[in-house]
Structure 1
Amino acid sequence: MIKRQRQYVLNILRMIEELPKGYSCGVIGRQLTRCSTSVGANYRAACRAKSSADFINKLKIVEEEADECLYFMDLLTELKGTDQPLLKELIKEGDEILAMVVASVKTASANRNIKNQKSEIKNLI
């Protein structure tokens, strides 16, 4: 997953470099740069989490940033001069990464809840 996210971020950065020069694309490009690099950085931090709660919290940040990337790429689809095939491919990849992160958050939360449940079996000794 780390390699896939890294490639995703690099592809977004390359796409941003090719955006038409203009105020709107510049603003969206900077925002997309911030949130896409945050996806990778926070996922990496989640892999080094100190506890399951820390892991879940960091993954939730990844989820928010990945969703934000999709938002800005969606805006780019409405602007003229953007590379639509590449953008569509990046949006598809972003959707898949977001789905994996959401599934990971659900799994980690469920596993954490199982560990936190007290046993109903009484010690008979």
Structure 2
Amino acid sequence: MYRFNDSHYIAPTLAALFKAESERFVAILNAVRQSAAGRPVFSLFVYGSAARGDDGPDSDLDIGLVARADDLAEVVEGIQETLRGPAERLIFLPNVVGLDFDDVRRLAKDEDPWWESVKQDAIVISGSRPEDAVSSQEALHG
């Protein structure tokens, strides 16, 4: 069991470090959110080690999105391009994975292990939960 001893002589330095890292993570999430602004994205989320909180110094940032098949390639490419500057400045490696509604339907139907972990880990940044994509699309198209 660990506890932070705020009376220790290095406590102010450690507190400042943890605060800076927390602010950096918020800035990264904001950059990801802004990268999708104005793009036709149903769901934008972070998953994997960063979402679980067990990422390390060499971990990438797994970013998932759900969009219409017709928009998918352009949206993924646009988000990747938009994140180049923030990734360099904030020191993170974005890994963008795009899914269309048919992908989500197939992964759910097959109870795909990767998809099950994505659903469990996902931190939604914009839009709806990724697993809600199929029911939302079906509601729109009857």
Same fold (TM over 0.5): no
**TM category, shorter:** 0.3 to 0.5
Higher percent of residues as helix: 1
Higher percent of residues as strand: 2
TM-score normalised per structure 2: 0.31
